[in-house]
């Protein structure tokens, strides 16, 4: 019972009181003596489900007023039509965080602008709030309203239409503003956000005018903005002029804007992206006119593109335009045919990773070579028309440690001079043509290779007479559908092998009669129905071959 809390006068730290729909009435709440708990810093008051009696909920919350020493307060699922006055009382000078969520019957917000120390405010899922008016700011001096507020989140407000803001002096210290899923919001936002560093806007289609542009960006003072995120704006078509004004922007992310066509304009000296931009992430913008041919992003360090680029605008991407690029990710861009690097451009000394995923029409991948001395990993997935890897990988990519090639059935061969000596992990899955030329790989020349994965091929014997490096520690074999036997001649040279994983090889019947390498300490077998009974510790014909292995797992279970 809630009145039992009255006996606990020395509660400290955080207290969550849930199930308040069963709390009885205001008298019972009074007996909880929340105001007398002077050491409590964090209080969460929660109603589960829908309150049947709005007045009863008001009475209960009124009587649950905590001590003025409280620092963090959350009210969740409250069924009253209004909030009690104590929630915005200036005596709560220690309150730094307030969360109001699922208060579905409230028509207005408390005057939280009167809380002098409030730094973090979240307002979420308030289904009957249609306007944030002047009551939200309180009766204090205009220069003191929300003077300490740093982060403001307003989300899941289906009926919110208008946001009234005093002319100036409000939110002067606000650093982050997040407005998410407020579909009816129209008009202006607070204008003088001189300290704002991060702005997220998602699912607010009412803020886009009939011409496909935002209604409010040109009137906002966002000179200090560093991070901008825009998502789920189905009618947004053009963001060119807005982006041009954000001269200090470092991180820009935009996604799920299916009608967006432009975020930059020509000529480039009039409409280039902010020179300070370090991170650019674009997703779900299939109509976006992508990088102009002679565009230059001298400061860009991270570029992620997914489901973007209209027509031929992302047909060819040149890395010579991205001289400080550190991470490059391109996913599900069917229009991309070529990733290139012009000779004469500077070396990409900062480039550390390349991910190309689901680019089904990619035919040319840096065929002329890529001078990237610090590139450590490359992943190619679902590039079904790609035939060749970059030239000169051994000399131009001396730091490459990981190379993944999945579902790239047309890749023909490795570069003529071979893979980099630094390579530690190699994964090849469903690359049938490449597998057919495995005797040309010369993996035994790679002194650093520690892990090899081969998958989705039709070999009957593995490994056959092709050589693997003796340095190999991990060998994983996945879905070799016709595999009938493991070749001891190919395995015995693996004197450093510690882990062998065999997965989905339905025709594999037994292990080599000579056994497995003595160095092996872990054997994992999964979905190999003909091999499984041979590994039974009591009756298995191959048990003596694996008895020395300290960790044996079959179909997800350890075998003693």
Which residues on neighbouring strands pair with residue 500, listed in sequence order?
475, 523
Could you give the CA distance from residue 7 to residue 40 in angstroms, rounded to a whole number? 14
Same-domain pairing of 445 and 324 = yes
Could you give the CA distance from residue 25 to residue 34 in angstroms, rounded to a whole number? 15
95 is a domain residue: no
Residues 44, 15: contact at Cβ < 8 Å? yes
Could you give the CA distance from residue 462 to residue 484 in angstroms, rounded to a whole number? 9
Domain end among 394, 416, 449? 449
Same-domain pairing of 525 and 436 = no
Domain end among 388, 417, 449? 449
43 is a domain residue: no
Domain end among 449, 473, 494? 449
Same-domain pairing of 511 and 436 = no
Per DSSP, which regions of 204-288 are E strands? 227-231, 251-255, 279-285
**Domain span at 266:** 209-298
Q: Tell me which DSSP letter residue 502 carries.
A: E
Same-domain pairing of 333 and 421 = yes
190 is a domain residue: no
Same-domain pairing of 322 and 422 = yes
The share of the chain scoring above pLDDT 90, in percent, equals 53
230 is a domain residue: yes
444 is a domain residue: yes
Residue 7 has pLDDT above 90, yes or no: no
pLDDT at residue number 268: 47
Give CA 529 to chain center in angstroms.
38
Which residues, in sequence order, are CB contacts of 362 under 8 Å at separation 6+?
Answer: 336, 337, 338, 339, 356, 383, 385, 386
132 is a domain residue: no
120 is a domain residue: no
Same-domain pairing of 432 and 482 = no
The model's pLDDT over 369-392, given as tens digits with 9 standing for 90+, comes to 888 999 999 999 999 999 999 999
Please state the domain count of the chain: 3
Residues 354, 378: contact at Cβ < 8 Å? yes
Measuring CA to CA, how many Å separate 552 from each of 519, 529, 536?
Answer: 14, 16, 11
Residue 144 has pLDDT above 90, yes or no: no
Residues 89, 62: contact at Cβ < 8 Å? no
* Radius of gyration for the chain, computed over Cα atoms and rounded to the nearest angstrom: 31
The model's pLDDT over 426-466, given as tens digits with 9 standing for 90+, comes to 999 999 999 988 888 989 999 999 999 999 988 877 776 66
Phi, psi for 249 (deg, rounded to 5): -65, 135
Same-domain pairing of 455 and 483 = yes
9 is a domain residue: no
Same-domain pairing of 466 and 390 = no
Residue for token pair 């036997």 = 485
Residue 28 confidence class, pLDDT cut points 50, 70, 90: low
Same-domain pairing of 347 and 337 = yes
Same-domain pairing of 242 and 228 = yes
Residue 503 confidence class, pLDDT cut points 50, 70, 90: very high
* Higher per-residue confidence, 54 vs 477: 477
Same-domain pairing of 542 and 463 = yes
Same-domain pairing of 433 and 454 = no
The model's pLDDT over 100-128, given as tens digits with 9 standing for 90+, comes to 999 999 999 999 999 999 999 999 999 99
Question: What pTM was estimated for this model as a whole?
Answer: 0.88
């Amino acid at each position: 019972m809630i009145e039992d809390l009255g006996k606990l006068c020395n509660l400290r730290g955080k207290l969550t009181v849930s199930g308040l729909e069963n709390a009885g009435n205001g008298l019972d709440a009074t007996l909880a003596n929340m105001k007398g708990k002077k050491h409590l810093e964090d209080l969460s008051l929660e109603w589960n489900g829908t309150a049947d009696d709005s007045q009863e909920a008001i009475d209960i919350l009124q009587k649950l007023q905590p001590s003025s020493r409280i620092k963090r307060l959350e009210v969740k699922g409250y069924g009253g039509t209004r909030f009690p006055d104590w929630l915005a009382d200036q005596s709560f000078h220690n309150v730094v965080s307030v969360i109001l969520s699922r208060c579905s019957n409230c028509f207005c917000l408390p005057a939280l602008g009167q809380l002098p120390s409030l730094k973090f405010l979240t307002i979420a899922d308030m289904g009957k709030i249609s306007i944030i008016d002047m009551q939200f700011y309180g009766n204090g001096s205009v220069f003191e309203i929300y003077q300490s507020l740093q982060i403001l989140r307003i989300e899941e407000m289906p009926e919110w239409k208008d946001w009234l803001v005093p002319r100036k002096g409000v939110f002067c210290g606000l650093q982050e503003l997040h407005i998410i899923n407020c579909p009816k919001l129209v008009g202006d936002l607070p204008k003088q956000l001189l300290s704002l560093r991060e702005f997220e806007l998602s699912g607010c289609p009412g803020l886009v005018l009939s011409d496909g542009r935002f209604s409010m960006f040109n009137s906002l003072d966002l000179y200090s903005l560093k991070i901008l995120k825009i998502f789920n704006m189905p009618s947004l078509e053009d963001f060119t002029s807005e982006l041009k004004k954000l001269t200090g922007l470092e991180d820009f992310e935009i996604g799920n804007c299916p009608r967006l066509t432009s975020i930059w304009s020509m000529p480039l000296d009039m409409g280039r992206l902010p020179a300070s931009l370090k991170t650019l992430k674009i997703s779900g913008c299939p109509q976006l006119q992508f990088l102009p041919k002679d565009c230059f992003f001298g400061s860009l360090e991270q570029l992620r593109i997914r489901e973007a680029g209209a027509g031929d605008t992302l047909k060819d991407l040149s890395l010579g335009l991205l001289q400080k690029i550190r991470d490059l990710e391109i996913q599900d861009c069917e229009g991309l045919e070529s990733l290139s690097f012009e000779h004469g451009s500077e070396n990409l000394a900062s480039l550390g990773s390349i991910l190309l995923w689901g680019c089904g029409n990619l035919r040319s991948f840096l065929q002329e070579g890529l001078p990237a001395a610090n590139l450590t990993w490359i992943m190619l997935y679902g590039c079904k028309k790609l035939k060749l890897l970059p030239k000169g990988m051994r000399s131009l990519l001396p730091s490459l440690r990981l190379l993944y090639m999945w579902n790239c059935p047309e890749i023909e061969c490795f570069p003529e001079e071979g893979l980099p000596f630094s390579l530690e992990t190699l994964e090849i899955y469903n690359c049938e043509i490449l597998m057919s030329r495995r005797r040309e790989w010369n993996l035994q020349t790679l002194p650093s290779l520690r892990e090899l994965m081969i998958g989705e091929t039709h070999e009957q014997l593995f490994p056959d007479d092709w050589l693997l490096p003796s340095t190999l520690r991990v060998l994983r074999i996945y879905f070799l559908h016709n595999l009938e036997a493991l070749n001891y001649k190919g395995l015995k040279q693996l004197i450093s092998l510690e882990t062998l994983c065999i997965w989905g090889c339905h025709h594999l019947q037994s292990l080599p009669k000579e056994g497995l390498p003595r160095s092996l300490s872990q054997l994992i077998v999964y979905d190999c129905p003909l091999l499984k009974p041979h590994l039974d510790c009591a009756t298995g014909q191959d048990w003596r071959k694996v008895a020395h292995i300290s960790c044996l797992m079959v179909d997800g279970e350890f075998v003693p």
